[in-house]
Amino acid sequence: MILKPRLEDIKNIGYYLGKVIIGLGLTMLVPMATGIAFGEINPALDFLIGAEIALIFGFILAKLCFTEQDLSWMQGMLVVSLSWLVATVLGAIPLYLSGHWGSYLDACFDAMSGFATTGLALVQDLDHLSLAHNLWRHLIMFIGGQGIVIVALSFFVKGATSAFKMYVGEARDERILPNVVHTSRFIWLVSIVYLILGTLALGTIGVFEGMKPLNAFFHGVCVFMAAFDTGGFTPQSQSILYYHSLPFELVTITLMLLGALNFNLHYHLWAGNRREILKNIETRALFGAAVITFLITAIGLNQTGAYAQAASLFRKGFYQLISGQSGTGFMTIYAQQFFNEWNHLALAGVIIAMAMGGAVCSTTGAIKMLRVGVIMKAMLQDIKKIILPDKAIVVKKIHHIKDIFLEDKLARSALLITMAYLCLYGLGALVGMWFGHPFLNSLFESTSAAANVGLSCGITSVAMPTALKFTYIFEMWAGRLEFMSVFTLIGFIVSTFRGK
């Protein structure tokens, strides 16, 4: 029997949702201040309007639904899934008011793309966008990369029990420190330290490469946020190609890889346990996957003769591949070049890399390397069981921070999420083909959206059909939250109508 949601459920959800919205409204004051500082009056007003609407909505919701109860698992999941939708709708307000987005749906598309750290964009005339709006595009990636709810957890939520349920709902199932609020704060600490170092590195390179100092450091902070949070937005329409700089590409590759690592691993590295990076199943799988997919891509590019020099082939192939594997979406080629100059083999390498992604508890999307590693090990274990005598007992362990016995339950859970991702990639590809795009193009774009990558072969554009825009928004949302929160929301809606 399905139970109808109670008023208590709605109040609990509304209260925590209100807190998240208040947090979002306060965050909009950062680009507003930037607008004022740089004399961008109308952009500053756009953010003031956005902040006011968010604060009004948030305060009313928190007041009407005031509660002191802890969240149940279902409520925690619902708070997360709804927070991401509401943040998208509210976060799109200042974008739409700027006049650089063709419709409110386009602004919502970019807001979801930003929060989910995807990087697909429908912005128009990006090269004339204000600094305030550009900062917001990148700031939402920074917030989304840490987790919208984690931002609220760090500053507004006191109860650790409720906090943990929302933390898990946001696709982070690993606690680095015993208390989840402390874990959230540690994630912030790591990000802020890298923010300072990354901005300094990129800004300095920018100055040496001929940019004006102010521009160089503004680009530095924006590109850092998009790289470390594996987002993929850039302040200029040419993505990383704008800079025409090898040092800039090398630093962004480093940042993308750092963003693709598990925050738990960062903690152990910071604590001096450097051997963990060599022993961890995730980093091993990530390294192995990057080598194999790069080989596939390189062979493909070599077949086409797209790049006459080996150095160019490596620079273009490796950059696009790491950008895809880490789920960032930075590009040093034009979207059309993927299909005009890369052959199917080279594209397959990038699609496989995008589909697998980085580490769990990182800012990347997709299936993730821990699950890939677990599935591979489980498969090997099963093959051994078949080969060895019936009475032989095969015990397999994996090393992820600590040694873990590879049980069926673990393998099943990894396989389920993997299946869900594969279905999502396929579903988006089908919708793409429905609108007349070739299979490989559709699969490329769908995988890019669902795995929160942001590489585009040109399907994503202002002119694409509304249904396709909604499909990609759904894929970005479901892919980022790793399904459970989304399934819970669907179940909640069903129980509202069919429950007793």
Give the one residue of 87, 195, 211, 359 binding another protein; rule: CB under 8 A: 211
We find the least distance from the C-beta atom of residue 196 to another protein, in angstroms, to be 23
- The answer to whether 86 contacts another protein (rule: CB under 8 A) is no
- The answer to whether 42 contacts another protein (rule: CB under 8 A) is yes
Name every residue whose Cβ is closer than 8 Å to that of residue 132 and which is 6 or more positions away in sequence.
31, 32, 34, 35, 38, 40, 43, 44, 46, 47
Q: Is 55 exposed, middle or buried (0-12, 13-18, 19+ CB in 10 A)?
A: middle
What does the per-residue mask of binding to another protein show for 43-82, with x meaning CB under 8 A? x-xx-xx--xx-xx--xx--x--x----------------
Cα distance between residue 132 and residue 42, in whole Å: 10
Q: Is 169 exposed, middle or buried (0-12, 13-18, 19+ CB in 10 A)?
A: buried
Q: Is 175 left (phi over 0), alpha (psi -120 to 50) or beta?
A: beta
Residue 250 or 376 with smaller CB distance to another protein: 250
Please state, as a whole number, how many other Cβ atoms lie within 10 Å of the Cβ of residue 256: 29
- The answer to whether 209 contacts another protein (rule: CB under 8 A) is yes
**Span interacting with another protein, options 15-23, 333-341, 357-365, 482-490, rule CB under 8 A:** 333-341
What does the per-residue mask of binding to another protein show for 141-180, with x meaning CB under 8 A? ----------------------------------------
Cα distance between residue 369 and residue 359, in whole Å: 5
Cα distance between residue 220 and residue 248, in whole Å: 10
Closest CA to 325 of 295, 372, 365: 365
Cα distance between residue 479 and residue 467, in whole Å: 18
We find the least distance from the C-beta atom of residue 124 to another protein, in angstroms, to be 10
* Crossing angle between the packed helical segments 180-208 and 246-259, to the nearest 10 degrees: 170
- The answer to whether 129 contacts another protein (rule: CB under 8 A) is yes
* Cβ pair 455, 448 in contact under 8 A: yes
- The answer to whether 337 contacts another protein (rule: CB under 8 A) is yes
We find the least distance from the C-beta atom of residue 272 to another protein, in angstroms, to be 37
Residue 52 or 382 with smaller CB distance to another protein: 52
- The answer to whether 345 contacts another protein (rule: CB under 8 A) is no
Give the one residue of 155, 156, 318, 334 binding another protein; rule: CB under 8 A: 334
Give the one residue of 156, 194, 242, 470 binding another protein; rule: CB under 8 A: 242
Q: Is 99 left (phi over 0), alpha (psi -120 to 50) or beta?
A: left
We find the least distance from the C-beta atom of residue 187 to another protein, in angstroms, to be 31
Four-point Cα dihedral 59, 65, 70, 76, nearest 10? -80
Residue 30 or 48 with smaller CB distance to another protein: 48
- The answer to whether 343 contacts another protein (rule: CB under 8 A) is no
**Span interacting with another protein, options 175-183, 208-216, 346-354, 463-471, rule CB under 8 A:** 208-216
Residue 69 or 340 with smaller CB distance to another protein: 340
- The answer to whether 128 contacts another protein (rule: CB under 8 A) is yes
We find the least distance from the C-beta atom of residue 131 to another protein, in angstroms, to be 7
Q: Which amino acid is at 406?
A: L
Residue with tokens 């273009």: 316
Contacts with another protein, residue ranges (CB under 8 A): 39-43, 45-46, 48-49, 52-53, 55-56, 59-60, 63, 66, 97, 127-131, 209-212, 215, 236-238, 241-244, 246, 306-309, 311-313, 315-316, 332-334, 336-337, 340-341
